[in-house]
């Protein structure tokens, strides 16, 4: 028997959630009703009270209730629901989650779902499920978004069968067990067009050693997806050779992956090899879309849709510091490898982005900011040379071996 969390704002959507809860119970599962309402008294009795969700955020409950601010309510309940639901899942007190809602309810429900690992059953019945803005709610997690078709406001001849389908769907997800497999342990790797040669060579070495290598393109979404998979506990090692998303994050390009990029492996103790691959470039769209403040910079048109901008020595100093600070968070074995001759195809000697001053600023900042427990090695090669690819793969294999002892 499994327990399914039914999360919602029970001051306005209690009837709908109670209906779904009853259908889940009829399928033989337990239900944990989690109330994320705040403006009025709950219309059904919850198992987890709204006060608990507020408390974990550190918000003053009395003042919060007195203000009755809807925007603040959604924000606080989104934060609190994520913390509480993640804790319940980690303690194995719930095996699935479902929520129903409009704009506010969807924000709260999906915030909680994004805090859960990939593979954990999660279903959001939403008025926004068919909108163009779904990615904001789903992020890089496997949240099933089901259109409510009509407003989530009471039960009627349209909503009843839809909610019944939703209840059946979450029960089916919980009841379905993945068959046992002898899958190989997973390594994640970050790649870009300008580091493809390196990652492909390293991938072959790691696969020959008995690992499955999952490659993520460093396009913002790719980096976030990789971080999410690492957080799920399914990853044995990380080959993070293409950290270019930090250049976009710092300078203002279009492929930033957010301020927590490079943190998942560090905080979860997963062995990692990090390199400053493609930190020589910031990504923009077509040339005519680049902000005017960058007009005097050096550009390279990768294709009609992508224009690359060379990072400056000052930006490289900041990027080196950031990379080192993220590596310093490591609770498991971590090595930083520096390809001294080129960090991308186009930064090699005689190529358009070749800038030894900027590269040396990057390398110096990495070395001066790394703490002693993180190994740093300079490899006299370009990032795509077989020498560097082999060094990266063999270093990661050695780190994983240390981790397993």
pLDDT at 404: 62
Catalogue the E-assigned strands of 198-248. 212-217, 235-240
Residue 220 and residue 140 in contact, taking contact as beta carbons nearer than 8 Å? no
Q: Which domains does the chain have, with CATH numbers?
A: 3-175 (3.40.50.12020), 186-404 (3.40.50.12030)
pLDDT at res. 230: 94
Q: What is the mean pLDDT of each run of 10 residues along the chain (405 residues)?
A: 94 92 96 92 93 93 81 92 96 97 94 93 95 87 94 90 97 88 88 95 96 96 93 93 98 96 96 98 95 96 93 98 98 97 96 97 98 95 97 97 70
Q: How far is CA 44 from CA 53, 109, 161, 372, in A?
A: 17, 18, 21, 56
**How far is 107 from 292, CA to CA, in rounded Å?**
35
What distance lies between CA 382 and its chain's CA centroid? Answer: 29
| CA dihedral for 146, 148, 152, 155, sign (positive or negative) | negative
Contacts with 88 (C-beta within 8 Å, 6 or more apart), sequence order: 5, 32, 48, 94
The SS3 of residue 53 is helix
For 50, list phi and psi in degrees, rounded to 5.
Answer: -60, -30
Cα four-point dihedral sign 155, 158, 163, 164:
positive
Structure tokens at 261: 């990029």
pLDDT, tens only, 112-134: 999 998 889 999 999 999 888 89
Strands 306-310 and 281-284: antiparallel
pLDDT for residue 181: 65
Q: Are 264 and 227 in contact (CB under 8 A)?
A: yes
CA distance 367 to 212: 31
Q: What is the DSSP string of 89-111?
A: HHTTS-SEEEEEESHHHHHHHHH
| Secondary structure class of 375 (helix, strand, coil) | strand
Helix ranges, 176-220 (H): 196-208
As a whole number of angstroms, the distance between CA 380 and CA 337 comes to 10
How does strand 235-240 pair with strand 186-191? Answer: parallel
Record the tokens describing residue 204, joined without a space.
């072959």
Decide: 125 and 17 in contact? Cβ < 8 Å.
no
- How far apart CA 217 and CA 317 sit, in angstroms, is 24
β-strand partners of 123: 98, 144
Q: What is the pLDDT of residue 402?
A: 73
Angle between helices 356-369 and 313-327 (to 10 degrees): 30
pLDDT for 177 equals 85
- Tell me: the pLDDT tens digits for 265-287? 999 999 999 999 999 999 999 99
Return the SS3 of 188: strand
> Please, which residues have CB within 8 angstroms of residue 46's CB and are 6 or more apart in sequence?
10, 33, 34, 35
């Amino acid at each position: 028997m499994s327990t399914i969390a039914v999360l919602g704002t029970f001051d306005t959507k209690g009837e709908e959630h109670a209906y779904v809860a009853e259908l889940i119970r009829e399928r033989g599962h337990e239900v944990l009703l989690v109330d994320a309402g705040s403006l009025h008294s709950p219309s059904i009795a919850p198992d987890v009270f709204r006060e608990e969700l507020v408390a974990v955020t550190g918000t003053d409950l009395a003042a919060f209730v007195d203000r009755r601010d809807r925007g603040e309510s959604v924000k606080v309940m989104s934060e609190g629901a994520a913390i509480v639901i993640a804790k319940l899942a980690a303690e194995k007190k719930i095996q699935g989650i479902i929520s129903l809602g409009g704009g506010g309810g969807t924000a709260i429900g999906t915030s909680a779902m994004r805090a859960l690992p990939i593979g954990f059953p999660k279903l959001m019945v939403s008025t926004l499920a068919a909108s163009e803005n779904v990615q904001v709610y789903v992020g890089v997690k496997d949240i099933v978004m089901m259109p409510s078709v009509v407003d989530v406001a009471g039960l009627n001849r349209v909503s009843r069968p839809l909610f019944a389908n939703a209840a059946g769907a979450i029960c089916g997800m919980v009841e379905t067990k993945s068959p046992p497999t002898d899958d190989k342990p997973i390594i994640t790797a970050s790649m870009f067009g300008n580091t493809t040669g390196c990652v492909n060579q390293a991938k072959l070495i790691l696969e020959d050693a008995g690992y499955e290598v999952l490659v993520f393109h460093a396009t913002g979404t790719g980096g976030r997806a990789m971080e999410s998979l690492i957080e799920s506990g399914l990853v044995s090692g990380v080959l993070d050779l293409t950290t270019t998303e930090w250049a976009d994050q710092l300078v203002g390009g279009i492929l930033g992956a957010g301020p927590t990029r490079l943190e998942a492996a560090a905080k979860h103790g997963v062995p990692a090899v990090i390199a400053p691959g493609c930190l020589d470039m910031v990504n923009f769209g077509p040339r005519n879309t680049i902000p005017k403040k960058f007009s005097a910079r050096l550009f390279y048109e990768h294709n009609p849709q992508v224009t690359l901008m060379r990072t400056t020595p000052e930006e490289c100093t900041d990027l080196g510091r950031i990379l080192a600070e993220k590596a310093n968070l490591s609770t498991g074995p971590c090595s930083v490898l520096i390809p001294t001759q080129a960090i991308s195809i186009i930064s090699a000697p005689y190529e358009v982005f070749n800038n030894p001053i900027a590269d040396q600023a990057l390398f110096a900042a990495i070395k001066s900011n790394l703490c002693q427990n993180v190994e740093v090695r300079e490899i006299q090669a370009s990032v795509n040379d077989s020498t560097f690819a082999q060094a990266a793969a063999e270093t990661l294999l050695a780190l994983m071996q240390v981790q397993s002892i």
